[in-house]
Structures are given as C-alpha cells and as structure tokens.
Chains A and B, each alone.
Chain A
Amino acid sequence: MTETSTASGAAGTLPRQKTDSTAWLLITPGVIWMTLFLVAPILMILYVSFWTQTTFAINPTPTLESWRDFFTSQTYMNALWTTVRIWLIVLAATLLVGYPAALFIGIFVRSRILSISLLIVCVIPFWTSFLIRVLAWRPMLGREGAINILLQKFGITSAPIDALLFSELSVVIGMTQIYVVFMVGPIAFMLSRIDRNVIEAARDLGAGFGRIFTRIILPLSLPGVVVGAIFVSVMVLGEFATSAALSGRQVNLLGNIIVTQVGSLKWAFASVVGVVLTVIIGIVIAMLLRVVDLKREL
C-alpha cells in the first residue's frame, strides 16, 4: 500500500498474554450482548417448552405434555411436514432459477463493472419493504391478476387459472422470488473467482461446454451453492409472513403455528414448536456444511 509499511513495529513483539487481554477487552461487549439477548432467550425457549400450560398462563412445573401434544397431533405433524416440503421445493427452485443467472453474471460477463452492476440490479428490489413485496404477488397471481391476464391475452389458456393464488404454489413462487438473490450472490461470487485460464486450457484440449461445466465450473462453484443454500434454508424454515399473505391460510408452516400459539398465549406450546424448528435448522446447516468445508474454501 505505502512505502512506510516496511517499518516494523513494536506490536509484533508484544507478549501473547497482552494481545489476548486487549482482544478480550474489545470483544466483551459483543459477547455479553449475544449471550444475554440471543443465547439466553433460546435457552429460555427450551426451558419453557417443559412448563405446564394452563388456559391463559404458564407455570414452571415441569411436564412433557406440550411435547406429547405436538407429536400426537395430526395438525402439527402436518405443519412439520409442510415446512420441510416447502423448504425443499423452494431450495430446489432458488437453485434452478438462480444458477443460470449466476452463471451468466459470473462467467460469461467479461467486464467486472458490468457484472457488479448486474448484481446491484438484482439487489435493488430489496429496498422495497419485504412485506409489501410479498403483498404485491396478490395482484400478480390472482384470478384477475397480471399473469392470468397475460396468459389469456396470448391465448395460452382460455380461462383464468384459480390455483395460482392462495395455494401452496403461490407461497413457493413468492418465496422463490424473495430469496433467489441470496443464492445468486454467493454463486456468482465463487464463479467470478474461477481462473479463466483453466477454462481456456480445457477448451484448447477439446473439452465441450458440458464437460467444462461438470468438471470445472460446477465443483468450483459448490461453496457458493452451500452458502446460498444456508441463507435460503434459514430464512425459509423460519418463514411465516409469506404463507400468511399468499396461502389464504391453506399453508401452515411451523412459523405460522408459533405466531398463532403466541397470539392465544399458549407460550409452552409455541416453545415446543420453537425447539423443533431450532433442531431442524441445526440439522440442515450441519448437513450442508458436510458437503463443503467452508473454512478451507473461503
């Protein structure tokens, strides 16, 4: 950076003890904040899930009743299954829809400025309120919505399709549009780091694009896919607003159950659902991290 950088400082020779204590001094406020307002609340959820629920209150008498209720109720097991299904579908959809876009931005656009501009163009919709973006899908997908109007205008369908809105499909479409950018960003970033010479060399040796893609591009972009998948998974699994706005109460995710249970003051039960959700997210992240060793890749 500058010429002065050759001057060696005294800091490098400081004893390790001293740098450790300065580091801890600096990190303490953050650690305290996260312990008090993140770790303690999550432990509280776990604790309360074993409390006794009466009609409008909870008391700390330990019981497994809420847990039994959860695993024996058809409604809640359905919600669990729906959450996992929607998560898998949205994850696959964001990958399928996002990967080609990332491929174009990361590999085929030569100019760095252009590829960054394209990414910015993809991010701009985020400056509209999340809830309003969700709500905007109603006039898109409704019976007299934009998509039905276009489909009929071009003679693709003769009658409006009802199933577009207030169904599982509308929730999947809405979530895919909202979260796909979190997939495109990391993948495009990893793709842009691929050394062009490697691709050139493979091409000179006679490899077709299919072979270059499966042997070079795809494996090298995998860390990006995993980071994107973690983002999308965490957000979709904790969702409730999109399903509340677009499913017409047809789709009940675990998040929706927490909201309704808290609304009717069933804290212990909401906590059970919260713990289940935490466990699912933990498993998903652990599985994704097994695919790629992120620490080594980044």
Chain B
Amino acid sequence: MESRILKPLLGVYLGLFILFLYGPFIVLTILSFQAGPDGGPQFPIIEWSTYWYRHLFGMTEVTRVAPLRLGEALFRSLTLAFMTMVTATVLGVISAQAFRKRFKGSNVVFYLIVLGMMVPGVLTGLGISLLSTELGITRTWWGTAFVAHVVYTFPFAFLVMLAIFNRFDPSIEEASWSLGVSPIRTFRKITLPFVFPGVLSSMLFAFTLSYDEFPRTLFAGGSDLTLPRTIYATFAVEIHPNIFAFGVLTTLFSFSLLAVFGILMYLSTRRAKKLASQEDI
C-alpha cells in the first residue's frame, strides 16, 4: 500500500501536532526569563533574567507590579485536592465494588454517577451556589466547592475502578469466603492489594482534576481564592511574566507529583505480582 509515503508523512504530522501542543508552553518558558520589572509578557526578550522567579518569592524590591498572593492559595488548593482525592476515591471504590454484580436499578445509578463528569462546571457551580444561597449556607472552598469537586472527580474514580474490577478474577475472593474469611478481611487482604494500582490511578485523577479545577470553584468557592482563581483574577488586569514563571514552577511541581505516583505505581504492581506468584505456590 502507499504506507511507504503515508507513514513518514503522518509521522511528520504527529511531530507538528506535538509542537502545536507544546508551543504555548515553550513560549511561556522563554518569556518567564524576561527582564524585570519593565519587561512585558511578550517578545522580544530584553534581557535574560530570573527576575520574575525572584519576584514570585518576594525577593525583589517593591515595584508597581503587585506580587501574586500565592502562598495561601497554594495551601488551599492542595488541601482541597487532598480532601477531594480521599473522598472521591473512597466513593469510587465502594460504588464500583457494588457494580460487580448487576443489581436492580444499576443502570440508573450508573448514569447518575457519570452525569457528574458530563455536566459542565459552570452549571454545577451555579446550581450549588443557588442552593447554598437559598439554604443560607456560606460558600467556602472547603465546603461548597469541595462537594462540587467530588461530584466532578468521583465519576472518574468510579470508571477507573470499574475497569479494574472487570479484569479482576472474582473466584479468588470466593475461595477466601468459602474458607471462612470475613468479607471485610477478604477485601482488605485479597481484593485491595490486587486493585491497588487502580486505586492509585483514581487518586491521581481526582487530585489533579481538583487541583486545577476552576469553573466550579469560581461559583461555589466563596471569598477565599484557590490557586486557579488567583490566576483567573490576573486575566482582568495586565498580565506580567510572573504568571509565566509561576506556570513553569507549577508544571515542575506537577511532574514531581507524577514521579511520586510512578514510583508508587511501580511498587504496588510489583507487590501485586508477588502476591499472585505466592498464590501459585
């Protein structure tokens, strides 16, 4: 077939496509080294400097460019992401566990859960803020925004766990039950170690989605800003390269998170394999 021409052609296309995906980030990284405080967020680079990185940490003299108040926002975002991660993963695991056998109404429940990732954030956010206003509940990032985050991330955890349980052989559990081991102990000792890689993936999904979540938090988050809302606040005013420097730093931070995840994943799959081989003996 024409694959001798088509394959290299598509390969080149994929290269361009990846460039398209990375282009803005490359430009952002370059511009984060713009001279300060007079250099703007555009080309050309007046002079290479780390001014905006020092600006982020308050290590520069006071200028007309107000420093971003990122410390508290970062703390809130990480706490919120952690709370969301734990809740969404627990809900996801127990719900997927229920779905291992067809039960009455399972179809409706399935769509109800998946709805959470299908409804746009603007709508969930608007609805929750309407409801909380009506009920006289003060909107906070750890309350109203938190429940909205779980509504968003729980379906992801649920679907990941559903896929994992589908591949898990139930007869191992049945063997344990028939030997008189209690269901809870069986779950802890047999099921959980096997599905742990899936639990880790659910946690990663929930954490990163919540950490970067914006529309729901904008409506339901109250007056204390999370990280994405702090960034959004700069949209309205003039932007400076400090926001780019911040983007580079958060990306590096995300990669270190990802590395931790990779290591945990490696260790847990190795443990699962070990368990499997032990049972062979």
Main secondary structure of the interface of A (DSSP, over half): helix
**Residue in B119, B124, B218 whose beta carbon sits within 8 Å of that of A259 in the complex:** B218
* Chain B: interface residue total (CB-CB under 8 A): 94
Evaluate contact between A132 and B127: CB separation under 8 angstroms.
no
- Cα A5 to Cα B250 with chains together (Å): 46
The answer, yes or no, to whether B75 is at the interface (CB within 8 Å) is no
The answer, yes or no, to whether A48 is at the interface (CB within 8 Å) is yes
Evaluate contact between B94 and A30: CB separation under 8 angstroms.
yes
Evaluate contact between A262 and B173: CB separation under 8 angstroms.
no
Evaluate contact between A139 and B25: CB separation under 8 angstroms.
no
Question: Among B56-64, B207-215, B263-271, which stretch is in contact with chain A?
Answer: B207-215
**Residue in A24, A230, A262, A277 whose beta carbon sits within 8 Å of that of B98 in the complex:** A24
- Cα A122 to Cα B19 with chains together (Å): 10
- Cα A285 to Cα B119 with chains together (Å): 11
Evaluate contact between B173 and A138: CB separation under 8 angstroms.
no
* Chain A: interface residue total (CB-CB under 8 A): 95
User: Which interface residue of A10, A30, A145 has the most chain B CB atoms within 10 A?
Assistant: A30
The residues of A that contact B14 with a CB separation of less than 8 Å are 100-101, 104-105, 118
Evaluate contact between B247 and A129: CB separation under 8 angstroms.
yes
Evaluate contact between B91 and A38: CB separation under 8 angstroms.
no
The residues of B that contact A41 with a CB separation of less than 8 Å are 124, 126-128, 130-131
Kindly supply a per-residue 1/0 record for chain B positions 98-114, scoring 1 wherever the CB is within 8 Å of any chain A CB and 0 otherwise. 11010110100100110
Evaluate contact between A234 and B7: CB separation under 8 angstroms.
no
The residues of A that contact B10 with a CB separation of less than 8 Å are 100, 103-104, 108
Q: Closest B-chain residue to A236, C-beta based?
A: B120
Evaluate contact between A259 and B95: CB separation under 8 angstroms.
no
Main secondary structure of the interface of B (DSSP, over half): helix
Evaluate contact between B169 and A1: CB separation under 8 angstroms.
yes
**Residue in A30, A127, A181 whose beta carbon sits within 8 Å of that of B21 in the complex:** A181
The answer, yes or no, to whether A267 is at the interface (CB within 8 Å) is yes
Q: How far is the CB of A46 from chain B (nearest CB, A)?
A: 9
Evaluate contact between A238 and B127: CB separation under 8 angstroms.
no
The residues of A that contact B151 with a CB separation of less than 8 Å are 33-34, 37-38
The residues of B that contact A38 with a CB separation of less than 8 Å are 112, 115-116, 119, 124, 127, 151
Q: How far is the CB of A76 from chain B (nearest CB, A)?
A: 16
Interface members, chain B 126-140 (any A CB < 8 Å): 126-131, 133-134
User: Which interface residue of B2, B7, B11, B128 has the most chain A CB atoms within 10 A?
Assistant: B128
Interface members, chain A 1-53 (any B CB < 8 Å): 1-12, 19-20, 22-27, 29-31, 33-45, 48
Closest 10 CB pairs of A and B: A9-B174, A238-B120, A41-B127, A136-B24, A26-B98, A127-B254, A132-B247, A23-B103, A104-B10, A136-B28
- 30 A-B residue pairings within 8 Å (CB atoms): A1-B169, A7-B174, A7-B178, A8-B178, A9-B170, A11-B174, A19-B103, A20-B103, A27-B103, A29-B95, A33-B91, A33-B151, A37-B150, A40-B131, A41-B126, A44-B131, A48-B130, A100-B10, A108-B6, A136-B28, A180-B21, A230-B118, A234-B118, A238-B123, A259-B218, A262-B129, A267-B130, A277-B123, A278-B123, A281-B118
